[in-house]
Chain A
Amino acid sequence: MTEGWTVSRLTWRAPVLAACLCLAASLAAVAQDEAAARPSALDSLVTWMPFILKGFGLNLLMSVLAMAFATVTGVILGFMQISPLALIRVPAKLVTHLFRNSPWLVILFAIMLLVPFQITLPGGERILIPDWVKATFGFALPVMANISEILRGAVMSIPTGQWESADSLAMTRGQTLRHIILPQCIRRMMPPWMNWYALLTLMTPMAAILGVDEALGNTQAAMEAAGSRPEFLIPFYLFLMTIFFVFIYPISLYTRRLEKRFAAAS
């Protein structure tokens, strides 16, 4: 009963909040619309919206690719962290630790500045790596480290009785992990996994600092192209926040619902 209430409350809040943000953006734009001769801030915003949205497409692409990469590598790293072999376990722990405890921006800088912009294949062919691909990689690393830690935590939280009973059935360590432990972990890992996707997406505009033409970069370019007037700043940035909000908020809602359901089940 309580859950039903929470969910319905949260769901109506979403569109209302988003609408408020949009309204605030438009109001801010209209309020500053005094010089009638020039196009108003709102008109300029409408003109440049498609350009900004196109940039947002790149944010989404980067977030999806980075998440896919982070999930695969994070799971591998997580398993390495629980390996009985110190030779595998210790480096995995170090990598996890390094990328979990460094700021996104610093990791992004490291990748952008230290990874060459082109690589030479053994055949002598040269491949250019576009900046957004490097940025994607940079965003993936902290998420990878956190997924690795989430996996380790989830595996540790499975009662030892599960391992013992599988052992008594003569299952190997690999079999136990795959058929007994992992299926129980996936449920627990879903909400934090989704949280990290949301956070990752919210971090992607940092790529603008390094010249990637995503939503933030395009917003700033649009403001400049429209004449760099100070009254653009509030509506343009609010619009940008609104786009992200509209995309991320439903994900947050769904994540919270999952968390509640799992908390109630356990």
Chain B
Amino acid sequence: MLDLIAPFFERLNETTGLNFSPFYDSYDWGRLVEGMTVSVKLIAAIIALSLVIGVVGAGAQTSRLKLVRGLVAAYIEVFRNTPPIVQLLFFYFGLGAITPQVDMGGWYEPMIGSFGWAVIAIGIFGGSYNVEIFRSGVEAVPDSTKEAAESLGFSGFQIFVYVTLPLAFRICLPALTNNIISLAKTSSLAYVIAVPEITYSLSGIWSDSVNVPEMMVLLFAYYIVLVAIIARVMTMIERRLALPGYGQ
């Protein structure tokens, strides 16, 4: 791959001074690929965690225990009303300092690395939005539809799985798409705790090769393409789940 495009970008550098070093320098190429891979993994992990938190939180909000409901409400308010970057630093430095170290045979490594803390912190941040999104979806399912299922003998669990959930998921898909896209963008915050995702690796390249504008173009292009892909996938899901004649 690199062999194919390297001559062109080397010429481009020599003739115009536009230095896209990752496209001809194998070391920088490696950094770019690594950055993209880590970024995609990071985003996938963050989204997965935030979805789990969203479902569990929305479930906990229907709890009969006031304490549980209060805790979920407090969680949502705290994480939605404080700066995400400070949350991340708090998790990584504050909690990271008191989590145990693992003996790696001679040297010690923290149990949770920077990647792990980035997933936890940003996942929890994103989850606080997902809880509300899922809750409003569940609330939007009409009582009368659930009642019809009840009158047919469905158990509470069957009503939730076969009626409430499929309808709630469709109702909250647009809001979910927005939050997933916003989380993908927020994943760049992991830069601050030196997770080698795309922003971090490209910043390494631009400080070595002094090609800030070129790398900025790459960075913007990466995120725009990424957001476009996520949006496309979500639209596909939405279309697949669309019900003829319903809600249009």
Contacts and interface: CB of A to CB of B under 8 A. Distances in A.
Interface of A: 13, 17, 20-21, 97-98, 101-106, 109-110, 113-114, 198, 202-206, 208-209, 216, 230, 233-234, 237-238, 240-241, 244-245, 248-249, 252
By DSSP majority rule, is chain A's interface helix, strand, loop, or mixed? helix
Interface of B: 73-74, 77-78, 80-87, 89-90, 93-95, 97-98, 181, 185-189, 191-192, 199, 203, 206, 212-213, 216, 219-220, 223-224, 227-228
B86 A240 contact: yes
A17 B228 CA distance: 38
Contact of A234 (B80, B94, B187, B220): B94
Given A102-B224, A106-B188, A244 B81 contact: yes
B89 A237 contact: yes
Given A109-B199, A205-B85, 12 more contacts: A13-B77, A101-B228, A103-B223, A110-B216, A203-B83, A205-B86, A216-B85, A234-B98, A238-B94, A244-B82, A244-B86, A245-B78
A237 B199 contact: no
A241 B80 contact: no
A91 B74 CA distance: 43
A236 B85 CA distance: 14
B86 A103 contact: no
B84 A202 contact: yes
A103 B82 contact: no
A30 B95 CA distance: 16
Nearest to B203: A109
Contacts of A13: 73-74, 77
5 contacts: A17-B78, A104-B188, A106-B188, A106-B216, A233-B94
A11 B75 CA distance: 16
Most B-side CB within 10 Å, residue of A13, A103, A245: A103
B195 to A, nearest CB: 12
Nearest to A209: B192
Contacts of A244: 81-83, 86
Contacts of B224: 97-98, 101-102
A52 B192 CA distance: 20
B83 A102 contact: no
Nearest to B192: A209
B82 A202 contact: yes
A252 B199 CA distance: 30
Contacts, number: 113
A145 to B, nearest CB: 12
B239 to A, nearest CB: 21
B224 to A, nearest CB: 5
A230 B97 contact: yes
Most B-side CB within 10 Å, residue of A98, A114, A237: A237
Contacts of B191: 105, 209
A66 to B, nearest CB: 15
A20 B73 CA distance: 13
Contacts of B212: 113-114
A165 to B, nearest CB: 26
Most A-side CB within 10 Å, residue of B82, B97, B199: B82
A102 B185 contact: yes
A245 B97 contact: no
Nearest to B89: A237
A109 B81 contact: no
A103 B197 CA distance: 13
A228 to B, nearest CB: 11
Question: 9 closest A-B pairs (Cβ-Cβ)?
Answer: A103-B188, A103-B185, A237-B90, A241-B82, A101-B227, A234-B94, A233-B94, A248-B81, A202-B83
Contact of B81 (A105, A209, A252): A252
